[in-house]
Amino acid sequence: MYFTKGNQMNELKDYVRTIPDFPEEGIMFRDITTVLQDAEGFALAVDSMLDAIKDVDFDVFALAESRGFIFGSAMAYKLSKPIALVRKKGKLPCETIEQEYELEYGTATLEMHTDSIKKGQRVVVVDDLIATGGTLKATCELVEKLGGEVVSIVALMELCGLEGRKKLDGYRVDTVLKYEGK
């Protein structure tokens, strides 16, 4: 998918800034702030993510904190679909369920309101990035605990070298941009 700006044809990858050796040497950090800072880049990102799931029949988006909120909210608005928020532990005010998952050094916990997904609802999970797959796997597990069915996971980018897709085996996974390495 492309966006024409003046006489220039931009691909979505043209809006992503790469910062070498951040946060540590050898890492090529893919920065989405440059996508968000450009209205055309942001529109292209949202439209590309929607295009990736155009054949998916679903009821609700489950959005992973925090950058999943950005892209997923715009997607939900365009399709007139509701949103279920997936947040870090202690951020939601009503009754919640939780799912712990592993980080590189330790664990973290995600939560959802118990009334955010109804039994039998078909759910698309949204985040900005698939890295190790831990956040998205935990999000899917929360949706399933509530009786929902994850019909797709969609992310703007995938860092293939971290093999997060392996952790998501059994789910449909759609990404717009794929980067080799970490």
So what's the pLDDT on residue 181?
A: 78
What does the pLDDT average to over 149-165? 96
Residue 54 backbone dihedrals phi, psi, to 5 degrees: -60, -25
**pLDDT at position 4 over 60:** no
List the 60-64 sheet strands across, edge first. 96-103, 106-113, 83-88, 60-64, 122-130, 149-159, 173-179
**pLDDT at position 79 over 70:** yes
Tokens of 32: 């989405």
Contact present, 112 and 85 (Cβ < 8 Å): yes
Mean pLDDT, the chain, rounded, equals 93
The lowest-confidence range among 15-24, 68-77, 107-116 is 15-24
How much is the pTM?
Answer: 0.93
67 belongs to the catalytic site: yes
For residues 78 and 81, what is the distance between their CA atoms, to the nearest angstrom?
8
| Position 7 confidence tier, pLDDT thresholds 50, 70, 90 | very low
* 3-state SS, residue 133: coil
- Sign of the four-CA dihedral 157, 163, 167, 171: positive
Q: Which of 24, 25, 95, 104 is catalytic?
A: 104
| Position 73 confidence tier, pLDDT thresholds 50, 70, 90 | very high
What residues does 179 pair with on adjacent strands?
Answer: 159
Q: Which of 67, 87, 111, 158 is catalytic?
A: 67
163 belongs to the catalytic site: no
